[in-house]
Amino acid sequence: MQHARDRKIGVGSIVLGVLGELMITAGLLIGGYILWNVWWDSNQSAAVAEKSVADFQGELEPAPRQAAEIKTEGDPPPVTQAISGDTFGILIVPKWYGITNNAMPLKEGTTPAVLDQAAAGHYENTAMPGEIGNFSVAGHRRSHGNSFRRIDLLEKGDQVIVETKDTWYIYEVTGHEIVLPNQVEVIAPVPGKPNEQPTERMMTMTTCHSVTMGEWGNDHRWVTHSKFVGWMDRADGMPEQVLNDPEVK
């Protein structure tokens, strides 16, 4: 009887061992497939974004390769409202140079069709670059090109630059906050104060975030605010940080 029971225990252990190995193998395969898709998808989207940037710049007169003087007096040139899905500029984050993609197409709208192209999508009905109000954009963090992946690196005083066909618009980071997805007041004309009338030119960047998984989750939103500090005419040159950035043409 003892031998029969030992044989049953032995067979049971083998079955459990095989099932355990199969589960581990299945987990590795599923995890590998997901990681491959993230990597492949991000590379594909990044290639689309790079082409969009090249196409946009290809239609412009090259800015002189010299540092332009920033203008702070008067009103900056207006940017014409774009049609949904169209590229109307390039978003440049000098802090990200050498870390992740630091120049991406700036497109109208925040639909998946826009953001999945590794673009920065402009929230419709928010201010345009340089306008009084809150120029607000969104981007993916850990998929479709990882556009805003390293938003967490931005600190007070870091520049965020918008290039359009005629003008460079310069913003400087003022701080960040982590909010729930339904806290849409962060993109109000006065960030966080939806009932107030704006008097300043602001910018807000939003992307996914998780309080437990960081860049890999989306139960919260990482929100970075910036203030407008001036502009430059493309005909005069370019911002010094762009001039010194070999990735920006």
* CA separation, residue 135 to residues 12, 49, 105, 228 (Å): 64, 21, 15, 10
Domain boundaries, the chain: 49-243
Q: Which tens digits make up the pLDDT trace of 230-244?
A: 999 999 999 999 998
* CA separation, residue 58 to residues 34, 61, 62, 84, 249 (Å): 36, 8, 8, 21, 10
Burial of 45 per CB tally in 10 Å (0-12, 13-18, 19+): buried
Residue 29 pLDDT grade (very low, low, confident, very high; cuts 50, 70, 90): very low
Fold of 49-243: Sortase; Chain: A; (2.40.260)
Top pLDDT among 6 and 231 is at 231
The average pLDDT across 168-190 equals 98
Lowest mean pLDDT: which of 42-51, 87-96, 182-191? 42-51
Burial of 207 per CB tally in 10 Å (0-12, 13-18, 19+): buried
Looking at residue 100, what is its pLDDT? 78
What's the one-letter identity of residue 159?
Q
Question: Can you give the pTM of this predicted structure?
Answer: 0.83
* CA separation, residue 139 to residues 28, 35, 91, 93 (Å): 30, 20, 11, 13
The closest of 155, 112, 133, 141 to 204, measured between CA atoms, is 133
